[in-house]
Amino acid sequence: MTAAATTAEPYTTVIGLEVHVQLQTRTKLFCGCPTTFGAPPNTQVCPTCLGLPGSLPVMNRHAFELAVRAALALDCKIASFTKWDRKNYFYPDLPKGYQISQYDLPFSSDGCLEVIDPKGGFSRKVGIIRVHLEEDAGKSMHDEAAGTADSRIDLNRAGTPLCEIVSQPDLRSPQEARAWLNELKLLLVYLGVSDCNMQEGSLRVDANVNLHIPQPDGRIAKTPIVEIKNMNSFRSVERALTYEAARQWEEWQATKVELGKMPKQTRGWDDPAGITRPQRQKEESSDYRYFPEPDLVPVTVSEAELAAARAAMGEPPAVLRKALEAKWKISAYDADVLVNQGRELVAYFEDLATRVGEGKAASNWMQQDVLRTLNERGGTIAEFPVRPEQVADIIARVKNGEFDTSRGREIFAEVLATGKGVADVVAGLGIAAVSDDELVTLCKELLAANPKIVADVQGGKEQAAAGLIGQAKKKNPNVNPGKVRQMCLDLIRGM
Ligand SMILES: [Zn+2]
């Protein structure tokens, strides 16, 4: 984290985010069309999502349930009564000429999501202004066929359920914004609310940013708020905000134009160029001529439905981190690494830790061997060929002194490569526990060959015994270094 750089700046960067997530439903928000990604253009449409005259929308209750689950996990108040509104605007990929959204009575509001840097860089409680539901528009495709200047419309996405999450302007740096988005995404995936697949457009981010600049008279000057659109990765969000803060600082120094002196500006992020560019001026909400959707009844939410949504939530990431720390006595950093990999990996870890009987060794093996290998290979933890009982077996054998950790790593790699069981691999590598008699014989040979080390130890320098370990491993790679050391010390004391 660039905490030092942030405090050195003569201004505070103030950031609020608007996140659109596609809900994980099989069908659209107001019709039965599938939401499957990647189908040929305009094959997942019907009279309702095409906006044909006479067609009527019917709300997908499952989409509503998922949205309520997300809002509860974000600590929002859920309205017992909520309604739908038409947001009117003209755009080629919006066949009805309006989008069904929620205006003055969103289904939830007043929430909070905290983000904590496990390395201690920052911790920030970010307020949630509102969470509402709306349908997505279609997709315009420009110049897709080489050599033509065609624009085409794909309406497969029109009517897909979106949850819009609007934060308070509580974030104070581009790094915080990125970390908060990571936490939000993790939460939504944990909840089963969205797959948050950014390549498929399941999660999109707009950011509002301006600067608060302390003045010599004690007043805080605020620069005009800029909304940045068109960001398709969290890395882009961080870069765009960093760029925009610097740009606003330069502009402020040149113009001294403050918030309220010009309309809110919308800028687009050009990722390859690494800059933001001005876009059309954003409509004020009066320009959208919102009015209640006459074809849909308002939605009421019962206490029983809220209880069901709470029951379906499971442990959110923040709760799970604390639980792992307490139960398995691992550090906040280790818990963070494990939880950030998803619920399945946490289940793998807990299975392993239960078998091993403690968390620290399990956590070390998870991070140094399982996770590292998983990242190299790709795929999910469910498909990972080495199972928790096998890792637990290796750890137990290391603890028993059958072999040391580096030997254990070789065995782990061999189990992974061959699919054999741990016992077979151990036998195949010629690894056998060294008997006490063998160990005594070997240590006696070592002491006879190293009178200098023996003299050093006798003179009080016990650490000199370390010089015997490498020699012991050369004679017999199966020996346990700890046992060799102890045996040699015991033999020297008995001399
Ligand atoms: Zn449809």
The string of pLDDT tens digits covering residues 466-482 is 888 888 888 887 777 77
Ligand 1 centre and the CA of 163: distance in Å?
A: 18
Express each pLDDT in 150-195 by its tens digit.
888 999 999 999 999 999 999 999 999 999 999 999 999 999 999 9
Q: What is the pLDDT of residue 281?
A: 66
- Higher pLDDT, residue 495 or 455: 455
User: How far is ligand 1, taken at its centre, from the CA of residue 403, in Å?
Assistant: 63
What integer pLDDT is reported at residue 283 of this predicted model? 58
Residues of the chain above pLDDT 70, percent: 96
Ligand 1: distance of its center to the CA of 194 in Å? 20
What is the average pLDDT across 223-227? 95
Residue pLDDT, tens place only, 305-322: 999 999 989 899 999 999
pLDDT classification of 367: cutoffs 50, 70, 90:
very high
Ligand 1 centroid to residue 156 C-alpha, Å = 8
Q: Rounded to the nearest whole angstrom, what is the distance from the C-alpha of residue 309 to the centroid of ligand 1?
A: 27
- Asked if residues 70 and 131 have their Cβ atoms less than 8 Å apart, the reply is yes
Looking at per-residue pLDDT, the higher value among 227 and 312 belongs to 227
Distance 32 CA to ligand 1 centre (A): 6
- pLDDT for 6 equals 47
- Per-residue confidence at 4, pLDDT binned at 50, 70, 90? very low
| Distance from the alpha carbon of residue 51 to the mean position of ligand 1, in angstroms | 9
DSSP β-bridge partners for residue 15: 171, 209
More confident residue, 254 or 232: 254
For residue 160, the CA-to-ligand 1 centroid distance in Å is: 9
Confidence class for position 86, pLDDT limits 50, 70, 90: very high
Looking at residues 213-218, what average pLDDT do you find?
94
288-296 mean pLDDT: 94
pLDDT at position 284, please?
63
> In which band, very low, low, confident or very high, does the pLDDT at 435 lie, cut at 50, 70 and 90?
confident
pLDDT of residue 151: 85
- Looking at residue 462, its pLDDT comes to 85
Residue of higher predicted confidence among 194 and 405? 194
Res. 432 pLDDT band, cuts 50 70 90: low
Chain centroid to Cα 378, Å, comes to 16
Looking at every residue in the chain, the average pLDDT score rounds to 91
pLDDT of residue 149: 76
pLDDT at 1: 41
56 C-alpha vs ligand 1 centroid, how far in Å? Answer: 10
Nearest-CA neighbor of 180 among 229, 76, 188, 280? 188
In the reported structure, the alpha carbon of residue 49 is separated from the centroid of ligand 1 by a whole-number distance in angstroms of 4
Q: Give residue 33 CA to ligand 1 midpoint distance, Å.
A: 4
Burial 305-344 (b: 16+ CB within 10 A, else e): eeeebeeebeebbbebbeebbeebebeeebbbbbbebbbe
Tell me the C-alpha distance between 305 and 78, whole Å.
Answer: 11
Three-state SS sequence of 169-232: CCECCHHHHHHHHHHHHHHHHHHCCCCCCCCCCCEEEEEEEEEEEECCCCCEEECCCEEEEEEC
* C-alpha of residue 34 to centroid of ligand 1, in Å: 8
